[in-house]
Chains A and B, each alone.
Chain A
Amino acid sequence: MTIRRRLSLSFAVILFLFTVNLIIYFWSNQRRQATVETLRRAVTRQALISGINQSLNDIQKQVSLLSQVATEGAATGADPAEVGIFNQQLTTLEREISQLDELADPETRPNIESFRKAYRDLSSSWRVFYENFGKDQTKAITELVVRAEPLTQEVIQQRLPQLQQDENKRVDAASSNFYEVAQLTNRITILIFAVSAALAIGVGVVVPGQMSRGLNHLKNGATSIGSGNLRHRIYLKSKDELADLAKAFNEMTGRLSAAHDLLTRVNEQEKKKSEELEKALDQLRKAQDQLVVQQKLASLGSLTAGIAHEIKNPLNFVTNFAEVSVSLVNELRESTDQQSAQMDPKELENIRGILNDLQQNVAKIQEHGKRADGIVRNMLMHSRGHAGDHQPTNLNSLLAEYVKLAYHGMRAQNHEFNITIQEHYDTTLEPLSVVAHDLGRVFLNITNNACYAAYEKKKKLGNGFSPTISVKTKNLGSSAEIRIRDNGDGIPESVRQRIFEPFFTTKPTGSGTGLGLSMSFEIVVQQHKGQLQVETEPGEYAEFIITLPKTPS
């Protein structure tokens, strides 16, 4: 129900109650007046009857006393003036009876009529008595005894008391009716007042209460929505203007929410685009850096190839002639031994000493020449690129094999070396098409570096530190991930920027060529189109992550 209709209904109810009160008031007033009028008429009749009774008794006493009075002039009778007064008394009394008849109710009228008739007979008899009193005493007394006295008995002792009794009953009934009507009207008035009060209170409580609840809902809803909760909806059960307002409010909130969602989605899309752009930019930068590095590496490779090629020929001469020199020194030592008897022992000893030194020098030249040759061959291999074939390879087995190779290689160089190796291989990883030999070199290089870093930290911290490397493989669906982690000192940020540069090494001179990670990077990224990343926390760990696509492009 609408508020307008509710208020109209309340007003109608109040108007109805007001009308009912007015009707009850007028009805009560009318009933009271009617009962008062009835009571007044009854009391008036009662008073009239009392007056008539009194007058009748007076006349009767007058007549009775007159009947025993002896007049002086026995033949003259009563004074005409007295007779006139007596007749006037009787007439007055009859008038009062007529008045009583006029006031009578229809029920009592027959009794009054018969009373009036009896009175007329009585008054007629009294008149006869009075007119003959003193003149014809016999007639007067006869009239009195024969007619008047029985009529007096009838009128005064029967009819009049009957009328009095009737009127008393009527007065009692009217009085009782008056009090009953008063009580009834009072009860109805109180009842109507109570009902009016209850309805007024009900209307006064319910209507503002409903409006207040509705307004509070709207206020709370507006507060909630204003604080940003655009999902909030205002539910009002009523079907009034407030419900319409709440509906409009909800529709507005819905539109606001939709607009907000759209704005949020657009913002998210923009943010995502921005992130994608940043990512693309980052990748572009990385690609650019990688390109720079690759260009650098390529030029270095070309340079290295040239240098290696140029160095390799003289180095071949050096190593070959050193090898020839070793043979010559041996031949010289044999011929010296054959001619030792002919030579001065001291001279012989000296020659032998020189030959030993020469042999050692030549051996050193040969050794380092071979080493230099190995380096040059590596450089040439690095610069030439890789021409291995891609073969389906079990990465778990390959990684395990090269980890063991690295460990034993380290053990071969240093018997005190020991380290804990944790291996976690994903068995769901299917064989990948890779160049196994090259990828093995990658695993070997990184594992060697890991073992070196962890062992260096062990040497620094002592037995309290347990050097550990962890190797993991993981099937990422479209790619395979290999993680090799050590708990060494990690890689400082300044070093991290350069670890993939050729010839960059932090190892002591002679312990590393600086080509391991550079080659590994080239094998993974260039050759296998994968990714080689490093995560590190200086002082805590370093972890190399190799990601290889399952379908190389």
Chain B
Amino acid sequence: MKRAATIFILGILLQTICFADTAAAADIAVVVHRDVPIDNLSFPELRKILLGDRQFWSSNLRVTLLIRAPVAHERDVVLKNILQMTEAQFRQYWIGKVFRAESSVAPKTIYTNEMAASLIANLPGSMSFIESGQVPKDMKILRIDGLLPGDKGYPLN
């Protein structure tokens, strides 16, 4: 039993190290459901969405934020580059926001990019962060400050 647990932890650590190496090399794309009515987001607006300060794309289309589970590279990029928060700060922030009823909907945790792609394809108004190399071809990617992943100066990498 102890051995199995040790192997599981080591596996996770190894996976983390592997993802870290990959992320260092790829930009994180902001992907949205195809009916989201905008193509470009400013960085502050992206930050607002992540902080739950902007919850609607339009009057009828709610933002459904899907974020990878902790330890995932996409999550790390989002927390560090956009929010400048630690994991604990991010959790605490959303717990407080939900309990203060400032937002009725918290970001949903997803475990894989495939899950993210699947959910974004099915959930109107959904938005997630996927490494640009793993984004399916038909997925809508938003520009951040007019830049797409791979562009020089793209902020999410």
Contacts and interface: CB of A to CB of B under 8 A. Distances in A.
B104 A153 contact: yes
A358 B104 CA distance: 198
Nearest to A74: B111
A138 B108 contact: no
Interface of B is mostly: mixed
Interface string B124-143: 00100000000000000000
A57 B69 CA distance: 25
Contacts of B99: 61
B64 interface: yes
Determine which residue in A60, A70, A146, A156 has the highest number of CB atoms from chain B within 10 A of its CB, and name it: A70
B70 A70 contact: yes
A142 interface: yes
B104 A65 contact: no
B108 A67 contact: yes
Contact of A145 (B94, B101, B109, B126): B126
A68 B104 contact: no
Contacts of A57: 101
A138 B118 contact: yes
Contacts of B118: 138
Contacts of A149: 62, 64, 104-105
Interface in A59-98: 60-61, 64-65, 67-70, 74
Contact of B98 (A61, A138, A144, A152): A61
A142 B123 CA distance: 7
B106 A141 contact: no
A183 to B, nearest CB: 40
Interface in B66-121: 66-67, 69-70, 91, 94-95, 98-99, 101, 104-111, 115, 118-119
Interface of A: 57, 60-61, 64-65, 67-70, 74, 137-138, 141-142, 144-146, 149, 152-153, 156-157
Nearest to B71: A70
A145 B98 contact: no
Given A70-B111, A146-B123, A141 B66 contact: yes
Interface residues of B, number: 26
A141 B112 CA distance: 13
A145 B106 contact: no
A74 B64 CA distance: 21
B119 A142 contact: yes
B122 interface: yes
Determine which residue in A64, A65, A68, A145 has the highest number of CB atoms from chain B within 10 A of its CB, and name it: A68
Contacts of A152: 104
Contacts of A142: 119, 122-123
Given A60-B104, A145-B64, A68 B115 contact: no
Contact of B95 (A60, A65, A144, A146): A65
B110 A137 contact: yes
Nearest to A70: B69
B62 to A, nearest CB: 7
Determine which residue in A65, A69, A141 has the highest number of CB atoms from chain B within 10 A of its CB, and name it: A141
Nearest to B107: A68
Interface string B31-74: 00000000000000000000000000000001010110110000
A145 B108 contact: yes
Nearest to B69: A70
A68 B106 contact: yes
A67 B119 CA distance: 14
A74 B98 CA distance: 24
Given A67-B109, A70-B109, 5 more contacts: A137-B110, A138-B110, A142-B122, A144-B108, A156-B104
A70 B111 CA distance: 8
Contacts of A64: 98, 104-106
A168 to B, nearest CB: 19
A468 B63 CA distance: 161
4 closest Cβ contacts across the A-B interface?
A: A70-B69, A64-B106, A68-B106, A70-B109
B115 A137 contact: yes
A172 B99 CA distance: 30
